């Protein structure tokens, strides 16, 4: 158990819809990262937050947004969903700013029909 909790574990929705994925980092970790894992794209870095502030951005689509709340949990919002957004979305947390080990949750599997 990494200590990182992601909900929901599975989500099935339709094209055009909006979903929110939630992540609770390990106790005390200030950094939260979001990754998308798909068969054709591999593990893609989306975005990083540190203590509530966005610190690094990767290949995140404009239809996607994220935030980190004062209690350090984070949410990833995916809107106007397309079939190609079907993937496993991982959250990871870290106790250091950028240079340390990432602790991954078990992921949220999104299926868009």
Per CB under 8 A, residues contacting other proteins are 2, 4, 33, 35, 42-43, 45, 48, 55-58, 90, 92, 97-99, 101-102, 104-107
Please state the closest distance from residue 43 (CB atom) to other proteins, in A.
4
- Nearest-approach distance from CB 62 to other proteins, in angstroms: 19
Residue whose CB is less far from other proteins, 27 or 99: 99
- Measured CA to CA in angstroms, residue 22 lies from 6, 10, 11, 34 at distances of 6, 12, 12, 10
Q: Please report how close the Cβ of residue 106 comes to other proteins at its closest, in angstroms.
A: 5
HSE-up of 64 (CA within 13 Å, CB side)? Answer: 17
Give the 3-state secondary structure percentages of the chain, helix then strand then coil, rounded to 5. Answer: 5, 55, 45
């Amino acid at each position: 158990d990494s200590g990182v909790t992601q909900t929901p574990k599975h989500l099935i929705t339709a094209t055009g819809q909006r979903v929110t994925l939630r992540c609770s980092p390990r106790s005390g970790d200030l950094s939260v990262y979001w990754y998308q894992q798909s068969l054709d794209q591999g593990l893609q870095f989306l975005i990083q937050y540190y203590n509530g502030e966005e610190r690094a951005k990767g290949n995140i689509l404009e239809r996607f947004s994220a935030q980190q709340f004062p209690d350090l949990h984070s949410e990833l919002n995916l809107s106007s969903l397309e079939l190609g957004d079907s993937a496993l979305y991982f959250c990871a947390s870290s106790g250091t700013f950028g240079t340390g080990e990432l602790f991954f949750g078990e992921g949220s599997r999104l299926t868009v029909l």
